[in-house]
Amino acid sequence: MDRTRAHYERFPFVQGGGRRVRHWQRRLRPFLPDAVVRGAVVLDAGCGSGEIACGLADRGARVVAVDLTSAATRRTRAASPAAVICQADVLRLPLPDRSVDHTVSIGVLHHTPDCFAGLCELARVTRPGGSIVVLLYARLTPYHTLYSMTAPLRRRVPVTALDRAPGWWWRVVRLVVAAQVGRRLGDDQLKALIADQVFTPVATFHPAREISRWADALGLVVYRRKKLFLHANLVEFRCTGTAR
């Protein structure tokens, strides 16, 4: 946990600006439609750049945002001034049971020491009938392979080496990333992306059947799942009121 906190304080998650805000509004709408979000208290657990919180607030949600790092809470405060924001661990949320209507947590639980405990905590704070939408890294994807293959690099090279990488290396990386994401990223975006995708100290990978087992154990229903081919599953759980 300390290593993860230090990592994201030093290299906070990529900022994608209005484009990323709109991207996540589109992505989340099938899970949390406008009519469901408007006026609802929505927790963004692991708010990072604050762009998902911003997109929810623009759709009329009353946002509560939490992140392990002060870098993230600062950015979220700037992106979403009306949100209630606090620096906290998603494994020990400073929120009462059943205190939020819905929860989103995009790309966060798999960076904690215990993904299942994180889901358990989200289920504790979400009211019965509410949705919990999480993005979790999937097993056996191109990104899973990349993260496994770069383990020796992570052991030998500190993330701060990115600050000293030569210009030609960044030019090559920029071209490779542009081929994947369809556009050229700026210097800061590129650095934050490589720091997150390659150097993040903890990343775990979870097959769909493991996620279903967690849901059963917590009295949640897997209501919807979207497979993101390159790296992840986006999953909506519904709280049934029998959650432990």
Ligand X SMILES: C[S@@+](CC[C@H](N)C(=O)[O-])C[C@H]1O[C@@H](n2cnc3c(N)ncnc32)[C@H](O)[C@@H]1O
State yes or no: residue 108 binds ligand X (CB under 6 A): yes
Q: How many CB atoms lie within 10 A of CB 208?
A: 15
CB of 174 to ligand X, least distance (A): 20
Task: Using CB under 6 A, pick the residue from 42, 55, 56, 89 that binds ligand X.
Answer: 89
Nearer to ligand X, 41 or 103 (CB): 103
Among positions 120-159, residues that touch ligand X (CB under 6 A) are none
CB of 72 to ligand X, least distance (A): 4
Nearer to ligand X, 175 or 230 (CB): 230
Task: Using CB under 6 A, pick the residue from 28, 40, 52, 54 that binds ligand X.
Answer: 52
Q: Which stretch binds ligand X (CB under 6 A): 32-40, 62-70, 184-192, 234-242?
A: 62-70
CB of 95 to ligand X, least distance (A): 13
Angular region, 77: left φ>0, alpha ψ -120 to 50, beta rest: alpha
State yes or no: residue 83 binds ligand X (CB under 6 A): no
Q: Which of 140, 51, 62 shows the shortest CA–CA distance to 102? A: 62
Q: Which of 130, 135, 136, 68 shows the shortest CA–CA distance to 103? A: 130
CB of 15 to ligand X, least distance (A): 9
State yes or no: residue 86 binds ligand X (CB under 6 A): no
Sorted by sequence, the CB contacts under 8 Å of residue 24 that are 6+ apart come out as: 51, 52, 55, 106
Nearer to ligand X, 25 or 49 (CB): 49
Q: Please give the residue ranges that form the binding site for ligand X (CB under 6 A).
A: 4, 8, 13, 46-49, 51-52, 67-69, 72, 89-91, 106-108, 111-112, 196
